């Protein structure tokens, strides 16, 4: 009897232990299932938050790019330039090619600063006097304008010529520059004749920097006559160096105006020749807007301006017509006359 009672109590105790263990396991399993989505949700949210933290607005990116670009411009970049110096006896202006640091895109300034600094090549010396400083620099169409301090004027004779050649040939090696105007303390450089040198073309030199004698040519130029009803011929001797464009020389001589009494200038003030080239008998003359804006007007004046140019250029062998462009574009009319097609020589307007 006692044994049966003991066995029954043992069975009841084991049953209660098993029931308690099973409930705990079930509860643990249930809680685990409930917590798992919460953990996944928290992990996903954490990932989203981390993505949000590294996202940068587009405008902020642009600002950072601009800052980097500005910093790059300030630091500059090196480009290859052709610089002209001189030799010990100032008999030539040989060139030196080297990389020069250019800041903020100021190629012309960098080139002249390199001339002031001096050459790296053995046997070359700088042509610009010690202490010379750049007071200002700008671009006027295809002309580079550079203003030097008073130290520039300390040289004379051959040394001064070489100095000018060094500057002019260096700057006309820069893309888009055809002429150079030199100022000293804001005033144009004066030549031996007492007149300003004005806009100077490239000095003709050989491969060793020695001056090359140009060919003498006699041009026939046409200007307004005293009655302002025709164009009058004027002979002028010029020097044409190797590589010079005769079309450009003719136009620049017309710009200078007549030398004979009774003849009058015909090119509007401020007109800049942007380019000139002849192909298949047609000389394409590209001029600045001043050619239109600064003309004094009148049908007779208009005809003299146009035909002084056309008749002067058609004196060049191979040029039959002239096509005018203004800032690279054709105009339908100049002031009154048709201007969109090549214009032929007009013999009737020439004073007999």
Q: What is the pLDDT of residue 192?
A: 79
Tell me the sheet residues that pair with 181.
145
Task: Report which DSSP code applies to 263.
Answer: -
pLDDT tens, residue by residue, 285-313: 999 999 999 998 888 899 999 999 999 99
Burial of 180 (0-12, 13-18, 19+ CB in 10 A): buried
Task: Report which DSSP code applies to 20.
Answer: H
Q: What is the pLDDT of residue 322?
A: 98
Q: What is the pLDDT of residue 213?
A: 74
The CA distance from 225 to 244, in Å, is: 29
Task: Report which DSSP code applies to 224.
Answer: E
**H-helix or E-strand containing 217?**
strand 215-224
State the CB neighbour count (10 A cutoff) for residue 96: 15
Helices H / strands E in the chain, number of each:
7, 12
- List, for the chain, all residue ranges whose pLDDT scores fall below the cut of 70: 1-74
Q: What is the pLDDT of residue 259?
A: 93
Contact of 332 with 340, CB cutoff 8 Å: yes
Give the total residue count for the chain.
Answer: 352
The CA distance from 145 to 139, in Å, is: 6
SS3 341: coil
Strand 134-140 vs strand 95-102: parallel, antiparallel, or unpaired?
Answer: unpaired
pLDDT tens, residue by residue, 150-208: 999 998 888 899 999 999 999 999 999 999 999 999 999 998 778 899 999 888 888 88
Residue 36: how many CA atoms within 13 Å on its side-chain side?
Answer: 6
State the CB neighbour count (10 A cutoff) for residue 345: 18
């Amino acid at each position: 009897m006692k044994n049966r009672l003991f066995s029954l109590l043992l069975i009841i105790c084991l049953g209660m232990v098993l029931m308690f263990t099973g409930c705990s396991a079930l509860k643990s399993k249930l809680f685990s299932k409930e917590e798992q989505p919460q953990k996944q949700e928290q992990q996903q949210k954490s990932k989203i938050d981390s993505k949000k933290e590294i996202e940068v607005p587009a405008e902020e990116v642009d600002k950072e790019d601009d800052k980097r670009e500005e910093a790059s411009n300030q630091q500059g970049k090196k480009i290859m330039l052709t610089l002209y110096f001189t030799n010990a006896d100032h008999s030539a202006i040989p060139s030196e090619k080297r990389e020069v640091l250019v800041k903020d895109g100021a190629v012309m300034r960098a080139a002249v600063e390199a001339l002031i600094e001096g050459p790296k090549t053995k046997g070359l010396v700088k042509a610009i006097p010690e202490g010379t400083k750049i007071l200002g620099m700008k671009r006027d169409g295809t002309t580079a304008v550079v203003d030097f301090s008073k130290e520039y004027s300390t040289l004379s004779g051959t040394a001064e010529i070489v100095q000018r050649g060094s500057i002019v040939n260096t700057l006309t090696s820069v893309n888009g520059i055809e002429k150079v105007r030199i100022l000293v303390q804001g005033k144009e450089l004066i030549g031996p004749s007492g007149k300003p040198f004005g806009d100077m073309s490239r000095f003709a030199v050989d491969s060793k920097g020695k001056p090359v004698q140009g060919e003498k040519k006699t041009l026939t130029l046409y200007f307004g006559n005293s009655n302002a009803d025709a164009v009058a011929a004027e002979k002028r001797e010029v020097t044409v160096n190797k590589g010079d464009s005769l079309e450009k020389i003719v136009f620049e001589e017309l710009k200078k105006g007549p030398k004979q009494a009774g003849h009058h200038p015909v090119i509007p003030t401020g007109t800049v020749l942007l380019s000139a080239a002849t192909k298949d008998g047609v000389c394409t003359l590209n001029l600045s807007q001043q050619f239109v804006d600064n003309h004094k007007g009148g049908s007779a004046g208009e005809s003299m301006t146009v035909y002084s140019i056309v008749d002067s250029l058609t004196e060049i062998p191979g040029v039959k017509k002239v096509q005018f462009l203004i800032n690279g574009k054709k105009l339908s009319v100049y002031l009154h006359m048709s201007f969109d097609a090549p214009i032929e020589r007009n013999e009737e307007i020439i004073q007999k």
